[in-house]
Amino acid sequence: PAHDPAKLAAARAAVALVQDGMKLGLGTGSTASIMVEVLAERVKAEGLSLRCAATSKATADLAESLGLRIESLDQIGWLDMTIDGADEVDPDLHLIKGGGGAHLREKIVAAASDRMVVIADPGKVVDQLGQFPLPVEVLQFGFETTRTLIRRALSDLGLGDHDVLQRLKGDDYWVTDEGNWILDLHLQAIPDAPALAHALAAIPGVVEQGLFLGMCELAIIGKPDGTVVKLNR
Ligand code: DER
């Protein structure tokens, strides 16, 4: 199937950064999936030897189906580079991720990497984070308590009363690879992302939230004409 040309351009530019022998983190989502396909083609064409850790079962399955060798993060240990998508990228390369429900493992893999490279189409570039609903992974135990504590934290931060909606997959609740649920916070704008990240992390039932602050070192924004813009922090 023909891929979105902007996503394909970004994916190609990121794969061009991969060197033989690298230990890589493979992201999740539609852009990262295109990257996995392009990477698999390059590995086959050039006989590269890579060690890859996936950020989701979906990415692991796709990668293995294309002949890439997937190992657990613990088997590999530390990674040279993680290539992943994003839902929003702000001017400081702070991100919102989690649209694909994988931000917990994505953040762990990114944290285990020397560098995190984000690949995105122009629609992901924003002046301020928050238009995209912020995903928060929460335990199923005490779910309503956690939702109440999240609402209280938003109010304490002066973020007003916004929808804090449980993510659905069809008629069911979305369940992550770790068996947790996801709440999407419809905030419209997040003026102080560090304060919000800090407040959410303090809530016991919150496992991880989709703000990636200071983790992305290079964002490759693909254009429909096949060119890319590279944003460095
Ligand atoms: O869920 C995720 O974190 C994905 O990487 C998401 O942020 C980007 O997905 P997309 O490439 O399909 O837009």
Digitized pLDDT (tens) for each residue of the chain, 233 residues in all: 689 999 999 999 999 999 999 999 999 999 999 999 999 999 999 999 999 999 999 999 999 999 999 999 999 999 999 999 999 999 999 999 999 999 999 999 999 999 999 999 999 999 999 999 999 999 999 999 999 999 999 999 999 889 999 999 999 999 999 999 999 999 999 999 999 999 999 999 999 999 999 999 999 999 999 999 999 98
pTM value > 0.95: yes
User: Would you say 186 and 162 are in contact if contact means Cβ atoms under 8 Å apart?
Assistant: yes
Q: 212 - beta bridge partners?
A: 95
Short-list 99, 134, 112, CA closest to 206: 134
- Please choose from 7, 8, 31, 119 the residue to mutate so as to test ligand 1's pocket, defined by most ligand atoms within 8 A of CB: 31
CA 198 vs CA 5, 184, 195, 202, 205: distances in Å:
37, 17, 5, 6, 14
Atom of ligand 1 nearest to the CA of 31: 11
Ligand 1 centroid to Cα of residue 96, in Å, is 9
Residue type, 66: L
Among candidate residues 37, 88, 106, 137, the one labeled active-site is: 106
